[in-house]
């Protein structure tokens, strides 16, 4: 007589989605009523701002959202899509290694090119890379995973610095106040997380129930979105002429990047944050399904990004709202919290509910960290070298991920818990950087308050 073993598939409670998105709504709506400065209206609610800025705000957030949808479309199905094209797990690991290697050696130069040649050209390159991948997957029955990995890795590197740098430079040209810039930082993070959720909905709707026959449809959608974005950027984006020569840029770059210890601290903190994000997205699914546990991962993904949306809405509360803190103090405590969260995961595999909770907490902290680091970059890094600084700070993160992919993913010499432990140590070191930056940046803060 056969024995039937029933297995339970864990699913997130639908009340969690309602709680997260309702909390985001309350956080945004209640901010003006609890602001510490009664005369200060957040930019998202301030209709008295110049029409030029409102047009720029809408255009920028649209492009930022489209870029996030493009990146999200390629990552929705992950290994399932690669398996559809007959790619083995060893080839997947090797393609990831190639992608991070390309980002490590070419990514920093893209930031310099962006500063020297113009953000519009590099932005167009971002969409062209996505367009090439979409066309390649539509034309070739078995597209090269290596080419896709290289193109998408370069596009991701561009997205990490180019849109923020363009926004800051444009804001400076319009001569607007600094608090509107702070609002744009958290709106960027909020729009990015929202667009990633939208890309998942779009991809699942396009594929439907027949994944084997309709797997190419997300590639078609990405191709069309990339083509629309190229036309939109070409027609609507006015690039300011570049007057600085490479010699002037090199002098300024060496003076600030290599001569200011505060920028070194900020760059290291950025590298640790980016490393923890990369490690999380590589290992979160294997961690949560360890020991053969069954779970619908597609239902956890919106919870994580919803938590990041909620964290981004907390930024104006801590920067200019009723919970006003100095940015370094806020990041110091948040980095420590994130380090403890990853330490819990690295120490032992917990129950699924516990893992989902700590993962959501990690992303809520990340939603607060990303605009906070952008604000610090505005305080310490000149606009003319901002792209080069951000792209250079990503190099240590790419190098670390490449090392752990080779040792852990390919040779199996390092376990996932060890990689997570190193990510936690990096976040603790980032907290130390914030403590030192707090001690060395007092004069900057005094000048910042006068703006």
Examine the pLDDT at 2 and tell me if it is beyond 50. no
**What integer is the mean pLDDT of 381-400?**
93
The per-residue pLDDT for 36 is 54
pLDDT at 35: 64
Residue 10 pairs in a beta bridge with 295
- What pLDDT is stored for residue 3 in this prediction? 39
pLDDT digits (tens, 9 = 90+) for 84-135: 777 788 888 888 999 999 999 999 999 999 998 889 899 999 999 999 998 8
The reported pTM is 0.91
Q: What percent of the chain has pLDDT over 70?
A: 87
pLDDT at 208: 73
Asked whether residue 7 carries a pLDDT value surpassing 60, the answer given is no
| pLDDT at res. 8 | 58
Residue 38 pLDDT class (50, 70, 90 cuts): very low
Alpha-carbon gap, residue 273 to 279, rounded angstroms? 10
Backbone φ and ψ for 254, nearest 5 degrees, come out as -65, -35
For 155, half-sphere exposure in the C-beta direction (CA atoms, 13 angstrom radius) is: 24
**What is the pLDDT averaged over residues 304-309?**
94
Find all residues with CB under 8 Å of 354, minimum gap 6, and list them: none
Among 90, 118, 281, which Cα is nearest to 196's?
A: 281
Which domains are delineated in the chain? 49-449 (1.20.1250.20)
pLDDT exceeds cutoff 90 at 252: no
> Which pLDDT band, with edges at 50, 70 and 90, does 81 fall under?
confident
- pLDDT tens digits for 326-371? 889 999 999 999 999 999 998 876 788 888 899 999 999 999 999 9
Checking if the pLDDT of 143 tops 70, the result is no
8 Å CB contact between 57 and 171: no
The proportion of the chain whose per-residue pLDDT surpasses 90, expressed as a percent, equals 46
Residue 156 in this model has a pLDDT that exceeds 50: yes
Comparing 25-39, 71-85, 346-360, which segment has the lowest mean pLDDT? 25-39
């Amino acid at each position: 007589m056969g024995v039937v073993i029933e297995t339970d598939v864990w699913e997130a409670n639908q009340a969690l989605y309602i709680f997260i998105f309702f909390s985001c709504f309350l956080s945004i709506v209640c901010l003006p009523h609890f602001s510490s400065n009664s005369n200060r209206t957040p930019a998202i609610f301030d209709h008295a701002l110049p029409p030029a800025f409102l047009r720029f705000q809408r255009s920028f957030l649209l492009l930022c959202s489209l870029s996030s949808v493009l990146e999200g479309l390629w990552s929705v199905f992950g290994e399932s899509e690669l398996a559809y094209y007959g790619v083995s797990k060893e080839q997947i690991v090797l393609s990831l290694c190639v992608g991070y290697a390309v980002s490590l050696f070419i990514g920093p130069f893209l930031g310099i090119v962006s500063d020297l040649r113009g953000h519009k050209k590099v932005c167009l390159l971002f969409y062209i890379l996505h367009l090439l991948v979409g066309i390649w997957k539509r034309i070739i029955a078995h597209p090269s995973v290596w080419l896709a990995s290289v193109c998408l890795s370069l596009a991701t590197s561009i997205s990490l610095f180019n849109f923020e740098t363009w926004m800051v430079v444009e804001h400076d040209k319009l001569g607007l106040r600094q608090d509107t810039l702070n609002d744009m930082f958290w709106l960027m993070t909020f729009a990015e997380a929202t667009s990633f959720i939208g890309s998942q909905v779009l991809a699942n709707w396009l594929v439907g129930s027949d994944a084997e026959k309709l797997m190419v449809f997300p590639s078609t959608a990405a191709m069309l979105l990339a083509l629309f974005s190229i036309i939109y950027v070409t027609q609507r984006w006015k690039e300011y002429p570049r007057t600085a020569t490479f010699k002037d840029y090199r002098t300024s770059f060496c003076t600030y990047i290599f001569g200011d210890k505060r920028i070194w601290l900020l760059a290291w903190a950025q590298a640790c944050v980016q490393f923890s994000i990369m490690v999380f997205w590589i290992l979160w699914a294997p961690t949560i399904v360890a020991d053969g546990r069954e779970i619908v991962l597609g239902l956890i993904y919106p919870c994580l990004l919803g938590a990041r949306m909620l964290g981004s809405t907390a930024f104006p509360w801590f920067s200019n709202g009723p919970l006003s803190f100095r940015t370094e103090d806020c990041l110091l405590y948040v980095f420590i919290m994130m380090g403890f969260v990853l330490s819990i995961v690295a120490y032992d595999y917990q129950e699924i509910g516990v893992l989902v909770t700590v993962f959501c907490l990690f992303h809520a902290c990340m939603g607060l960290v990303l605009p906070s680091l952008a604000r610090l970059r505005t305080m310490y890094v000149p606009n003319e070298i901002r792209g080069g600084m951000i792209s250079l700070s990503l190099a240590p993160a790419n190098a670390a991920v490449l090392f752990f992919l080779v040792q852990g993913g390919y040779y199996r010499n390092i376990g996932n818990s060890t990689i997570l432990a190193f990510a936690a140590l990096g976040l603790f070191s980032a907290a130390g950087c914030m403590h030192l930056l707090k001690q060395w940046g007092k004069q900057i803060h005094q000048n910042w308050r006068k703006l």
